[in-house]
RNA sequence: GCGCCCGUAGCUCAGUUGGAUAGAGCAGCGGACUUCUAAUCCGCAGGUCACAGGUUCGAAUCCUGUCGGGCGUACCA
């Protein structure tokens, strides 16, 4: 029997967890396809493999001997209790909970959140922000060099709309009081005027009046944008006046979400580079003029990637290319991840293809970089259509957070003796962690690629598979530690030399041990295709194992090695759940 | 027209290079607090994995077709 070296990874991937514990802990399905290839009977091959595996020293140390193939040729293995105990010991004594750093750290740039600063943030912005934040935390924890960059939309047509509106229908008093709201009002108003959708206008007499008064509003808005881009002093001055106001607004929301960025370099930052990008693309023959505009024509696409409009203005493709080049030059990343709505996938395909071709010609940097569009589904309104920033249409992000904290606060207040000793400040802190955690978790636990209809009740649910479930499990661990006066340092000392004191006396303990030791493997899986819901599924599984364990077995009343084993399981599970939640950007209070 | 994505329990969804009896949560029904926090636990019920073929030891998963839905498709981002 001969197996080529490059076949081995593929075969190893055919080892997986069993669906049912009666089949052991892990199963290998490789005998069936391999037997077919070799023209032998699967069960015979499996038997031969088992014979050899059983003799292997490393295997013998960690696993119980395999008896015989099951069914068509499954090879089922069971971890030795002592090996499991040793795993617990190592993870428990490690500040990284037994998760090794990657052997070859990469420099990874993450581009996420990227709101339009002129528009109020609404619930549609939550996905990019929360998913990007979670992925960046996870990649860092694994040992990569992560650079996060919030690519603000601070230079586009939306500013032309605000400038146009500011000059014609601003409410000075309202601006003095709440500048962001006034700018938001102007944006929404002008957008309606520009779109001049009869249905919309019939519902908004002010917009309708403006539309009638300024029939050329669309052209004028574009002209305001163009003037800003050309450096017109008045528009430039207004832009500089509005920017800090807009920034302050979004920073406050990031603060509440616990989201931070290493850099915040908006579109405006790349503005001086745009003309050069177009020139470069044109002179290298990649872009050409067409119908007055300039675009890159790629094989396999119906429409070109436009980099300059007929009126001379640049487009977001231009900015994206300039940004890419800048990042490649200054950060030399191995990977750049764009956490952006799936509706832009074609745009990114074209941008990436252009960038690769372009980078190959100018210098080699771009071709070395792995460009990934981490797409996610759209957040839809109750009508099943994407949210739009209209009056009364989208739920504001801030309002969602407030509501989440308020609902959580109601539950925090209603408990019995468990909440003893919690003062009002503590309660507020717990309500924040639980309420905002619920919102983040609701989004992260959803498969990244599917759209979902936004629902207050669903996002703010606190029962079942929600953030509160994990937070609650940790609070129970802390309850045990407190009530029992457990000194974690002493506990760690007790097992620091060897793990033989750890013994499993109940299947629930063993199941919990297996679950808690999966953190490293799970993080690896999350990185493979950037799916935080892999993480939430496992966290729920872990917390669920713990809850069953907690309910059925007493920790503090146990004695001797049984007590030590259970305490170690509690300590490690609590710390692992906390770490896991924090990697998702969710806070975990000690008490709730 | 072309391209991409989707269709799984009453509802919301997991299920990812094909693995054993398709899983959770919510809603429903029945049980469990004098005990380390009941935001919990245990149990019951609930399915033609849109449909029809095909590939094979094995298909929700891969291929083909049909039906249904979403998104994108030249100067918004």
What is this model's ipTM?
0.96
Which of A81-90, A92-101, A304-313, A351-360 is predicted with the least confidence, judged by mean pLDDT?
A: A351-360
As a rounded value in angstroms, the CA-to-C1' distance for A473 and B37 is: 9
Question: Would you say the C-beta of A116 is within 7 Å of strand B?
Answer: yes
Nearest protein residue to the C1' atom of B26, measured from CA: A464
Query: How long is the CA A115 to C1' B69 vector, in angstroms?
Result: 29
B67 C1' – A468 CA distance, angstroms?
Answer: 42
Helices (H), A258-386: 267-270, 274-283, 316-331, 345-362, 365-368
Least Cα distance to A102 among A143, A140, A137 occurs for A143
Which residues numbered 231-250 in chain A sit less than 7 A from strand B, measured from CB?
none
| Nucleotide B16 C1' to residue A180 CA (A) | 43
For chain A, first and last CA: distance in Å?
59
CA A93 to centroid of chain Cα atoms: 29
Full-prediction pTM beyond 0.90? Answer: yes
Say whether pLDDT at A7 is over 80.
no
Interatomic separation, CA of residue A457 and C1' of nucleotide B11, rounded (Å) = 13
List chain B nucleotides near protein: any atom < 7 Å from a Cβ.
1-6, 12-17, 19-21, 23-27, 35-42, 56-58, 70-77
- Rounded to the nearest 10 degrees, what angle do helices A397-414 and A424-444 cross at? 120
- β-pairing, A26-28 vs A75-77, is antiparallel
pLDDT above 60 for A38: yes
Q: Please tell me the predicted confidence (pLDDT) of residue A123.
A: 84
Region A467-489 average pLDDT: 96
| Whole-number distance in Å between A157 CA and B76 C1' | 7
**A548 strand B contact, CB < 7 Å:** yes
Q: Which residue has the higher pLDDT, A189 or A543?
A: A543
Confidence of residue A249 (pLDDT cuts 50, 70, 90): confident
Q: Say yes or no to pLDDT of A56 above 70.
A: yes
Which stretch of A271-280, A426-435, A452-461, A572-581 has the lowest confidence by average pLDDT?
A452-461
Residue A360 has pLDDT above 70, yes or no: no
pLDDT number for residue A390 = 45
Instruction: Report pLDDT for A392.
Output: 47
What is the strand order of the sheet A370-376 is part of? Answer: A145-149, A107-111, A335-341, A370-376
Question: Of all residues in chain A, what percent carry a pLDDT higher than 90?
Answer: 64
Return chain A residues 160..219 having CB < 7 Å to nucleic acid strand B: none
Span CA (A435) to C1' (B14), Å: 23
Instruction: Report whether A438 contacts A466 (CB < 8 A).
Output: yes
Q: Judge whether A375 and A340 are in contact, CB under 8 Å.
A: yes
Task: Please give the protein residue whose CA is closest to the C1' of the nucleotide B22.
Answer: A19
Shortest CA to C1' contact from A417: nucleotide: B37
Q: What is the pLDDT of residues A139-193, one digit of tens each?
A: 999 999 999 999 999 988 888 899 999 999 999 999 999 888 888 889 888 888 8
The band of A11, judged by pLDDT with boundaries at 50, 70 and 90, is confident
Give dist(CA A157, CA A160) in Å, integer. Answer: 5
Q: Is residue A108 within 8 Å of residue A137, measured between CB atoms?
A: no
**Checking DSSP bridges between strand A335-341 and strand A107-111, what pairing results, if any?**
parallel
Residue A128 CB closer than 7 angstroms to strand B?
no
Separation of A367 CA and B1 C1' (Å): 34
Query: Residue A340, CA: closest nucleotide via C1'?
Result: B77
- Give residues 491-520 of chain A lying near strand B (Cβ < 7 A): none
User: Per residue in A189-202, pLDDT tens?
Assistant: 888 888 777 777 88
pLDDT confidence bin for A391, thresholds 50/70/90: very low
- What distance in Å separates the CA atoms of residue A282 and residue A274, rounded to the nearest whole number? 12
Strand B lies under 7 A from the Cβ of residue A68: no
A592 CB less than 7 Å from any atom of strand B: yes
Which residues of chain A (558-587) touch nucleic strand B at CB < 7 A? Answer: none
Q: Which of A64-73, A149-158, A416-425, A576-585 has the lowest mean pLDDT?
A: A416-425
Helix (H) or strand (E) holding A514: helix A507-516
Strand B contacted by A18 CB (< 7 A): yes
- What is the C-alpha to C-alpha distance for residues A470 and A464, in angstroms, rounded to an integer? 10
């Amino acid at each position: 029997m001969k197996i080529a070296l490059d076949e081995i990874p593929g075969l190893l991937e055919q080892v997986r967890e069993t669906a049912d514990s009666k089949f052991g802990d892990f199963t290998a399905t490789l005998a069936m396809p391999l037997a077919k290839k070799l023209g032998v009977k699967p069960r015979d091959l499996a038997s031969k493999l088992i014979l050899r595996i059983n003799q292997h020293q490393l295997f013998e140390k960690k696993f119980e001997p395999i008896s015989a193939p099951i069914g068509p040729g499954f090879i089922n293995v069971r971890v030795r209790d002592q090996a499991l105990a040793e795993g617990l010991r190592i993870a428990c004594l490690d500040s990284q909970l037994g998760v090794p750093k990657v052997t070859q750290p990469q420099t990874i740039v993450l581009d996420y959140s990227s709101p339009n600063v002129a528009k109020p943030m609404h619930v549609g912005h939550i996905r990019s922000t929360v998913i990007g934040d979670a992925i960046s935390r996870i990649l860092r924890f694994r040992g990569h060099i992560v650079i996060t960059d919030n690519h603000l939309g601070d230079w586009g047509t939306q500013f032309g709309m605000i400038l146009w509106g500011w000059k014609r229908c601003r409410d000075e008093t309202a601006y003095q009081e709440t500048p962001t709201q006034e700018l938001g009002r102007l944006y929404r108003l002008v957008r309606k005027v520009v779109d001049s959708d009869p249905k919309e206008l019939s519902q908004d007499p002010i917009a309708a009046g403006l539309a009638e008064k300024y029939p050329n509003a669309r052209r004028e808005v574009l002209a305001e944008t163009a003037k800003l881009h050309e450096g017109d002093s008045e528009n430039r001055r207004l832009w500089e006046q509005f920017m800090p106001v807009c920034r302050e607004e979004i920073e406050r929301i990031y603060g509440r979400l616990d989201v931070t960025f290493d850099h915040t370099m908006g579109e405006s930052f790349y503005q001086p580079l745009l003309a050069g990008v177009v020139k470069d693309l044109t002179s290298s023959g990649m872009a050409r003029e067409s119908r007055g505009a300039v675009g890159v024509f790629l094989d396999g696409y119906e429409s070109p990637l436009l980099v300059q409009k007929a009126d001379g203005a640049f487009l977001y493709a231009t900015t994206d290319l300039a940004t890419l080049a800048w990042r490649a030059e200054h950060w030399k990343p191995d990977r750049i991840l764009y956490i952006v709505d799936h509706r832009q996938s074609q745009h990114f395909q074209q941008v990436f293809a252009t960038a690769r071709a372009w980078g190959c010609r100018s210098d080699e940097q771009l071709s070395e970089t792995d460009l990934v569009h981490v797409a996610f589904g759209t957040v839809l309104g109750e009508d099943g259509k994407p949210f739009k920033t209209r009056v009364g249409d989208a739920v504001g992000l801030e309002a969602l957070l407030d509501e989440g904290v308020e609902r959580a606060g109601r539950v925090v207040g209603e408990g019995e003796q468990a909440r003893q000793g919690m003062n009002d400040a503590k309660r507020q802190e717990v309500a924040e962690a639980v309420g905002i955690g619920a919102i983040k978790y609701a989004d992260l636990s959803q498969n990244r690629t599917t759209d979902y209809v936004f629902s207050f009740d669903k996002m703010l649910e606190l029962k079942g598979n929600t953030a509160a479930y994990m937070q609650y499990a940790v609070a129970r661990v802390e309850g045990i530690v407190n009530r029992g006066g457990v000194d974690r340092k002493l506990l760690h000392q007790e097992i620091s030399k060897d793990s033989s004191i750890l013994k499993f006396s109940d299947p629930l303990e063993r199941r919990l041990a297996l679950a808690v030791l999966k953190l490293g493997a799970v993080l690896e899986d999350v990185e493979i295709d950037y799916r935080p819901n892999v993480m939430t599924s496992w966290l729920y599984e872990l917390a669920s194992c713990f809850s069953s364990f907690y309910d059925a077995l007493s920790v503090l009343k146990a004695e001797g090695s049984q007590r030590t084993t259970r305490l170690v399981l509690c300590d490690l599970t609590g710390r692992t759940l906390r770490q896991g939640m924090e990697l998702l950007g969710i806070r975990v209070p000690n008490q709730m």
